[in-house]
Amino acid sequence: MAASSLPREQVLHLARLARLKLDDEEVERLGAQLAAIVGYMDVLAGVARAEPDDEQESTSPRWLRDDESGASLPREAALSESERHVTQGFVVPGPKGSRR
Amino acid sequence: MSVDAESLTSLPLWEVARRVAAGDLRAEAVAVAFLARVREADSTIRAFVHCDPDAVVACARDIDERRARGTPLGPLAGVPVAVKDNLCTTDAPTTCASHALVRDGQGWRAPYDAAVVERLRAADAVIIGKTNLDAFAMGSSTENSDLFSTKNPWDTTRVPGGSSGGSAAAVAAGMAAGALGSDTGGSIRQPASFTNTVGIKPTYGRVSRFGLVAFASSLDQVGPIASDVRGAARVLFAIAGHDPRDATSVQAPLPDLEAACDRGVRGVRIGIPDEYFGEGLDDRVRELVDRAVDVLAGAGCSLVRVSLPHTELAVAAYYVLATAEASSNLARFDGIRFGSSVRPPDADVDEMVAATRGAAFGAEVKRRVMLGTHVLSAGYYDAYYLQAQRVRRRLAADFEEAFGSVDVVATPTAPSPPWKLGEKLADPLAMYLADVYTLPASLAGLPALSVPCGWTNDGLPVGLQLIGRRWQEDLLCRVASGWERLRDATGSPPKLYESSHG
C-alpha cells in the first residue's frame, strides 16, 4: 500500500476507536502521515509466516502469582487527583442518551 | 560561582560519593554547588521540569546530620541525581511533559514513589529535580515535550536527543552527577550519545517498572545516565533488582558492576554487525566508531564480523509493537481519575473523554496512539501486529546466533551526530528511522549501553553502543570502562562542560 493519505473515514474511525477528538486539520495531517508510516511498515509483509519458533508459548500456571489479597491504594489517595469526585467515586457525565 | 563549586560539579558521580562518605565533603555543599549550576545553566538548557532547591538542601542536610550521628549511609549518599519526569515521585509533580498530567498549571501528584525512586532514596541519593522528556517518552529529540524543548549543552542550537533528553542534558552540563532515564527504543542510549554521557539500558526485567508511567510495557526499562561508566554502574546497581510489584521484573543475580569496570578488555570477542555500518551511517560517526573498535582490537580484543540479518525490519516492527502497546497504555488518560479534563456542556462521557484526550495529547502522542490503534484493529492485526511479533522473535534469534561466537556487539549508537532543533519535526518517519541502531536490542530485551567515543571535527559528540547477552551488564561495563581508559590515554580526554562554556 502506498496511498498518499488514509481516507478521511478511516482516520475518523481510528480516532473513534482511540477516543480522540480531532479537528479537520489534524484529520488531514494524520491521514497523510499515517499513510506514509503504514506504507513503510508494509515491509513486514515480506516476512515468511511459517517457522517453528513462531508459535507463541502457552501461559503456564507457574508464571502466575498466587491469587492473594494484598495492600492497595487507599481510597482517598485514589480519588485525590481527580477533578470531580465524591466519597463513593469519580463523577463523570452520563453515557449517551442519559439524563445529566 | 567559586572555583570549588565549579570543581564539584565536574566530579564523576562515584568521586562525589567517595568524598561525602569520607567526610571530605558535606552533602549540603554538594547540593548547593549543583543547584548553583542549575541556576546558571538551566535558563538556557531547560533540562528541568521541576526543581525545589529548599527540598534538595533539606535532603542533603539530613544526610549530613545522619552521618554526624554515625548512621551508615547508602552508596549514593549526597549524590545529586535527576529523575526523568515519567517516574512517579510523591514529593514532586509528575507530568510526563504532557498537558494530560497538568491541570490548572499544576502537575499530577503521584500517590507513590516509583520503585527506582525508592531505591535511590534508600541509597541516600539527593534527587535534585525532575527532567524534561518527549511527552510520554515518545520521541527522539525531547522536542515533543508539551512544556518546552531542551537544548544540547554542547551546541544549544541542537537537540539533546530523546526521549530522556532532559536527564542527559542535566548530566552533560554538570547540573546533576547522575540521572535516571527510561529506554523503550533507545531513549537513554541515544541522548547519551548526543550529549557525551554514558547511558545504560538494562536487560528487560532487570529494573522494576513499578511507578514508571508506561509507554510500551514489553520494552520499557529504567536506566542510568552518568558522566562515566563507573558512575552509571553505581546507579544501576542501586536501582536494579526484583520487585514483586512489577510482574515482569526478574529474580536474576546482579553482578558487581563496578568491579567489572576494572577487569580490562583483553580477550573479549567483539562482534561487528555488517548491517549497522551500511548506507545511512554518517561518515563522521563511522570514522569515530571504526577508530574505537580498532583501538579495542589493539588492546587485546578480537573483532569478529557478524550478521544480524533482520535488522532492516526493526524500525517497522518496533513502531508496530510499541505504538500498539502505547495505544493501550495511554487509554487510562481520560480525565476522569487524574490529569486534565475537558467537559463540554451537555457532553456525555464518551464525548468528554474524546475532547479531553484531543486537547491533552500532543501531535506525536496522537500519531502513535492512532498508529497503534490501526495495527491492532480488525483487518490489520495479522498483517502488522502478528508479523511484527514474528520479526521480534527473529531479531532475538539473530543476536542469539551472534553471541555464539562473540561476547558483545559493537555498533554506532545513532546514525548521525545530534541534529538541529526543528530539523526533523516535519517528517515523523525520518525521526523514527533515526532509531535504527538502538531498536533491535530493545526488541530482543538485551542490555545495551552507549559510551562516548569521540567528537566530530565540528565539535559534536558521538556514542559507541555495546550490546550484550541477557544479564551481562557487567561485561558491558567492563568493555565500556576499558574503552574509556584507552580513549583518554590516546590524547582525547573528555571535554569538560565548564572549559567549553567559560
Q: What is the mean pLDDT of residues B215-232?
A: 98
Whether pLDDT at B497 is above 70: no
Contact B120, B76 (CB under 8 A): yes
Nearest residue, CB atoms, A93 vs list B352, B359, B391 = B352
Is B499 catalytic? The answer is: no
Q: Render pLDDT for B6-41 as a digit per residue (tens, 0 to 9).
A: 689 999 999 999 999 999 999 999 999 999 999 999
Q: What is the mean pLDDT of residues A29-44?
A: 95
If pLDDT is split at 50, 70 and 90, which confidence band does B251 have? very high
**DSSP per position, B263-331:** S--TT-EEEEEGGGSSTT--HHHHHHHHHHHHHHHHTT-EEEEE--TTGGGHHHHHHHHHHHHHHHHGG
The Cα of A3 is separated from the nearest Cα of chain B by a number of Å equal to 15
Torsion of CA B269, B275, B280, B281, to 10 degrees: 0
Q: What percent of chain A has pLDDT over 90?
A: 48
Are A80 and B111 a contacting pair at CB < 8 A? Answer: yes
Is B187 catalytic? The answer is: yes
Is B302 catalytic? The answer is: no
As a whole number of angstroms, the distance between CA A49 and CA A65 comes to: 33
Are B367 and A54 a contacting pair at CB < 8 A? Answer: no
Whether pLDDT at A51 is above 70: no
Q: What is the mean pLDDT of residues B230-259?
A: 96
Residue B99 is given by DSSP the state G
Q: Render pLDDT for B456-466 as a digit per residue (tens, 0 to 9).
A: 999 999 999 99
Are A44 and B391 a contacting pair at CB < 8 A? Answer: yes
Neighboring chain B residues of A53 at a CB cutoff of 8 Å: 393-394, 397
3-state class of B256 per DSSP?
A: coil
Q: What is the mean pLDDT of residues B50-56?
A: 98
Residues 6+ positions from B255 with CB-CB distance below 8 Å: B473, B474
If pLDDT is split at 50, 70 and 90, which confidence band does A100 have? very low
Element holding B376 (H helix, E strand)? helix B363-376
Q: Which of B140, B149, B164, B187 is catalytic?
A: B187
Are B247 and A65 a contacting pair at CB < 8 A? Answer: yes
Are A33 and B432 a contacting pair at CB < 8 A? Answer: no
Supply the pLDDT for residue B496: 53
As a whole number of angstroms, the distance between CA B150 and CA B165 comes to: 7
If pLDDT is split at 50, 70 and 90, which confidence band does B5 have? low
Q: What is the mean pLDDT of residues A7-20?
A: 97
**DSSP per position, A34-96:** HHHHHHHHGGGGGS----GGGSPPP--GGGSPP--------HHHHHHTSSSEETTEE--PPPT
Q: What is the mean pLDDT of residues B134-149?
A: 98
Ramachandran quadrant class, B186 (left: phi over 0; alpha: psi -120 to 50; beta: rest): left
Cell 551500511 belongs to residue: B278
Q: Render pLDDT for B385-397 as a digit per residue (tens, 0 to 9).
A: 999 999 999 999 9
Q: What is the mean pLDDT of residues B244-271?
A: 96
Neighboring chain B residues of A50 at a CB cutoff of 8 Å: none
Q: What is the mean pLDDT of residues B218-229?
A: 98
Supply the pLDDT for residue A54: 54
Supply the pLDDT for residue A53: 55
If pLDDT is split at 50, 70 and 90, which confidence band does B495 have? low
Q: Render pLDDT for B348-397 as a digit per residue (tens, 0 to 9).
A: 999 999 999 999 999 999 999 999 999 999 999 999 999 999 999 999 99
As a whole number of angstroms, the distance between CA B264 and CA B268 comes to: 9
As a whole number of angstroms, the distance between CA B377 and CA B394 comes to: 24
Whether pLDDT at B53 is above 90: yes
Residues 6+ positions from B323 with CB-CB distance below 8 Å: B216, B368, B369, B371, B372, B375
Q: By CA distance, what is B110's nearest residue in A? A: A81
As a whole number of angstroms, the distance between CA B200 and CA B180 comes to: 10
Mean pLDDT (chain B, rounded): 95
Are A83 and B375 a contacting pair at CB < 8 A? Answer: no
The Cα of A64 is separated from the nearest Cα of chain B by a number of Å equal to 9
Q: Which has the minimum average pLDDT: A1-15, B116-130, B283-297, B448-462?
A: A1-15
Answer positive or negative: Cα dihedral of B319, B308, B404, B271.
Answer: negative
Supply the pLDDT for residue B202: 98
Whether pLDDT at B257 is above 90: yes
pTM assigned to the model: 0.96
Phi then psi dihedrals of residue B94, to 5 deg: -125, 120
Contact B432, B185 (CB under 8 A): no
Cis bond upstream, residue B163 (ω within 30): yes
Between B449 and B493, residue with greater pLDDT: B449
Whether pLDDT at A2 is above 90: no
3-state class of B388 per DSSP?
A: helix
Element holding B370 (H helix, E strand)? helix B363-376
Whether pLDDT at B150 is above 90: yes
Q: Which of B145, B163, B182, B481 is catalytic?
A: B163
Chain B interface disruption, residue of A22, A37, A55, A79, most B CBs within 10 A: A37
As a whole number of angstroms, the distance between CA B169 and CA B177 comes to: 11
Q: What percent of chain B has pLDDT over 90?
A: 95
Mean pLDDT (chain A, rounded): 85
Contact B375, A37 (CB under 8 A): no
Neighboring chain A residues of B354 at a CB cutoff of 8 Å: 15-16, 19-21
If pLDDT is split at 50, 70 and 90, which confidence band does B1 have? very low
If pLDDT is split at 50, 70 and 90, which confidence band does B437 have? very high
Whether pLDDT at B133 is above 50: yes
Beta strands B461-468; B448-455: pairing state = antiparallel
Quote ipTM for the complex: 0.90
Contact B152, B418 (CB under 8 A): yes
Are A47 and B394 a contacting pair at CB < 8 A? Answer: yes
As a whole number of angstroms, the distance between CA B199 and CA B491 comes to: 23
B residues 231-250 lying closer than 8 A (beta carbon) to A: 244, 247
If pLDDT is split at 50, 70 and 90, which confidence band does A97 have? confident
